Chains A and B, each alone.
Chain A
Amino acid sequence: MNSREKDVLVMALYAGEIMLKNGAETYRVEDTVMRICKAYKISYVESFVTPTGIFVSVDCRENGGDVLTFIKRIVERTIDLNKISKVNDFSRKVSSSFLSIEEALEILKKIDHLPKYPKFLKIFGAATASSFFGVMLGATYSDFISVLITSICIYISISFTEKLNSNFFIQNLFGGAIAAFIAILSIHIGVGIHLDKIIISSIMILVPGVAITNAVRDYISGDLLSGAARTAEAFIVAIAIAVGAGAVMNTWIYIFGGI
């Protein structure tokens, strides 16, 4: 009866899902979903987004339809700002020019399957980020090498545990533990002098900077629920890193009587 509206709704939901999955703020997802629905002449749209799910409701009784509601659960969240930027462009294009629903879905699918940067480049990114952060804090050149190795190991361990379908608590716990372990090891070998600087700069790639920034942006736009959820996420990540690093350091002290 109103299959066109259903198609539009599914398409809008898909766009919202891509954005939320890749770390967009809540208000931006709500905005995008509503803008896409409005572009296809659905007059009444309401969307409610939290970091873990999207709820969209449309009313098409004017056109002889029904009230439709769709829910989409978001389980995994990563950070891919490229996709967010692309979907944002897409939603602007939809509202300014007329695209058929099939064409729009095609574009969205393409965006969803857009490749990330290749793995070696990401490892290189992690290594540069951490090691130069270390130098910013005043680490020496031998610390620099130690941070380089540590951060590469952390990144490999994250991408490995990600594949095993683990949650973000475990990933960050392992990350923190590996950071502490390799940092202590490298000091014993003689590469690196400042233990604190090595650990701080290598855990930078785990630190929940994005969660904090997004939490704030959610609070500004009045999405208190999402803001609170993301703040909680940031805290849990911080605790996980601290537990991982602390456990390894404590164990080391317990076994060898000092670092």
Chain B
Amino acid sequence: MYLQFIFSFLATLGFSILFNIPQKSIIKASFVGGCGWIAFVYWRESFGSLIAASFVGASVVAIISEIFARKFKETVTVFVIPGIIPLVPGAGMYYAMLAAMEKDFSKFAIVGSETLFMAGGIAAAILLVSSIAKMFFEFKKSRKNRDQ
């Protein structure tokens, strides 16, 4: 498991350089990517569902990113974009293409729809977490204003 963390940490580090992330945030963003991947792998091994695992992994990425963004005064995107990359279903895309090439359209439909749902799971997780984070901080602000 710790090997998986190191690999995904390094993979995210590479993407951070490609996306020109500010120098001081590279290590943090890589850490986010590693955590997301570990959550994904853990869920996949224990429950077997790729779609649910994508959702959980992306949620972890989004939650840590929101915390880091507030703590280090950066934009959330700086952590979310590289963090999400290891979860992107590139493998599904490839197998779907392979199935289409072999004219195996029932397999294409199965793999393709699974890939689409994995992307949807990632999207839903980011959507959910960032909406809840916004609501949470709005709530905190309104509480603070009332107390004063």
The chain A residues found within 8 Å of chain B, CB to CB, are 24-25, 28, 79-86, 88, 116-117, 121-122, 124-130, 132-133, 135-137, 196, 199-201, 203-205, 207, 209-210, 212-217, 219-220, 238, 241-242, 245-246, 249-250
Contact = CB atoms under 8 A, between A and B. Distances in A.
Nearest to B79: A81
Given A28-B75, A137-B91, A125 B16 contact: yes
B136 interface: no
Given A128-B10, A212-B84, 11 more contacts: A24-B77, A81-B21, A124-B14, A124-B17, A125-B13, A128-B14, A129-B13, A129-B85, A136-B8, A200-B90, A217-B126
A79 B97 contact: no
A90 to B, nearest CB: 12
Contacts of B98: 196
Given A117-B20, A130-B14, A246-B97, A212 B8 contact: no
Contact of B127 (A82, A220, A249): A220
Contact of B8 (A84, A132, A200, A238): A132
A79 B126 contact: no
Contacts of B20: 79-83, 116-117
Interface string B5-47: 0011011111111111110010000000000010000000000
Contact of A129 (B18, B84, B122): B18
Contacts of A204: 85, 88, 90
B134 to A, nearest CB: 9
Contacts of B14: 124-130, 132
Contact of B11 (A116, A117, A136, A212): A136
A246 B100 contact: yes
Contacts of A250: 101
Query: Of residues B75, B100, B126, which shows the largest number of chain A Cβ atoms within 10 Å of its Cβ?
Result: B75
Interface in B100-134: 100-101, 119, 122-123, 126-127, 130-131
B80 A199 contact: no
B interface SS class: helix
A216 B120 CA distance: 9
B4 A136 contact: yes
B78 A136 contact: no
| CB-CB nearest 4 A-B residue pairs | A129-B14, A125-B17, A128-B14, A132-B11
B127 to A, nearest CB: 5
A217 B80 CA distance: 11
Interface string B64-95: 00000000001101101100111010110111
Contact of A217 (B11, B90, B130): B130
B8 A213 contact: no
A203 B81 CA distance: 17
Contacts of B22: 81-82, 85-86
